[in-house]
């Protein structure tokens, strides 16, 4: 019996794809003077931002790069980012059925908390684990296990809903059941690679599994 549902944030609860791509285009232009490959940037979705930045901007002051990235986003987040269809409805549905809910994301704590408050969905979550909270990050199991420990939940009673390879591997490594948010361009590839049993076409599809 499922007692717990944990969610990734970017690309799962909220459509942040284009804002992230545009933000990387901005810092590539500002610091490196070249263009970034969109397919490559999308392949990094799910890993901590600082991991990507240290790899791609290692010879620059990372704090300056990060500040530039955040400055670009601050005035655009509210106007360019939206929740996916039926996200508030499914959270309300699950909460009323006494399912424990949480977020496990590679996003930083401050931006995650700010985002869910802006969308008025913070009231639904019993735990929020971000890149600031763990030494190891997805696809390692540590972030998911930390959430389960806080909730006193068992992996075998837990769904983890995500959209990236990092999410699927994290769930598998932790012994939880991975559920793929199947609205990204690489969803078919992930289904085949990780033999994903449960795939959502819409967040409301979760009602069929609870």
- Whole-angstrom Cα distance, residue 30 to residue 12? 29
Q: Quick one: residue 33, left, alpha or beta (phi over 0 = left, psi -120 to 50 = alpha)?
A: left
- Per CATH, is 4-15+81-208 categorized as 3.60.20.30? no
The string of pLDDT tens digits covering residues 84-139 is 999 999 999 999 999 999 999 999 899 899 999 999 999 999 999 999 999 999 99
Query: Which class in CATH covers the domain with range 17-79?
Result: mainly alpha
* Mean pLDDT of the residues in the chain: 95
Model confidence, pTM: 0.92
- Whole-angstrom Cα distance, residue 47 to residue 136? 11
pLDDT tier for residue 46 given thresholds of 50, 70 and 90: confident
- Among 97, 103, 141, CA closest to 119: 103
Residue 76 has φ and ψ, to the nearest 5°, of: -110, -20
Percentage with pLDDT > 70 across the chain: 100
pLDDT score recorded for residue 75: 80
Consecutive H or E run containing 49: helix 49-56
- Whole-angstrom Cα distance, residue 168 to residue 160? 8
Whether 78 has a pLDDT exceeding 90, the answer reads no
Catalytic residues: 8
* Fold equal for 4-15+81-208 and 17-79: no
Q: Quick one: residue 184, left, alpha or beta (phi over 0 = left, psi -120 to 50 = alpha)?
A: beta
| β partners of residue 10 | 14
Domain ranges of the chain: 4-15+81-208, 17-79
Beta carbons within 8 Å of 23's beta carbon, 6+ residues apart: 69, 72, 73
DSSP string covering 127-158, please?
Answer: EEE-TTT-SS-TTSSHHHHHHHHHHT--GGGE
With b meaning 16 or more CB within 10 Å and e meaning fewer, what string describes 189-207?
ebbeebebebbbeebebbe
Whether 72 has a pLDDT exceeding 90, the answer reads yes
**Cα angle value 199/201/202 (rounded, 5°):** 120
Whether 177 has a pLDDT exceeding 90, the answer reads yes
């Amino acid at each position: 019996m499922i007692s717990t549902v944990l969610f990734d944030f970017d690309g799962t609860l909220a459509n942040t794809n284009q804002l992230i791509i545009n933000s990387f285009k901005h810092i590539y232009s500002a610091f490196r003077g070249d263009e970034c490959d969109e397919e490559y940037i999308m392949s990094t979705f799910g890993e901590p931002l600082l991991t990507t930045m240290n790899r791609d901007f290692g010879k620059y002051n990372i704090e300056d790069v990060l500040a530039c990235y955040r400055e670009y986003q601050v005035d655009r987040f509210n106007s360019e980012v939206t929740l996916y269809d039926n996200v508030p409805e499914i959270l309300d549905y699950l909460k009323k059925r006494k399912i424990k809910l949480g977020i496990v994301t590679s996003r930083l704590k401050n931006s995650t908390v700010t985002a869910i408050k802006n969308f008025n969905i913070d009231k639904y979550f019993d735990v929020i684990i971000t890149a600031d909270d763990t030494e190891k990050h997805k696809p390692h199991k540590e972030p998911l296990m930390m959430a389960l420990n806080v909730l006193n939940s068992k992996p075998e009673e837990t769904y983890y809903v995500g959209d990236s390879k990092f999410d699927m591997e994290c769930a598998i490594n932790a012994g939880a059941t991975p559920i793929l948010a199947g609205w990204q361009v690489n969803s078919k590839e992930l289904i085949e690679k990780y033999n994903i049993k449960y795939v959502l076409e819409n967040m409301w599809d979760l009602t069929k599994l609870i």
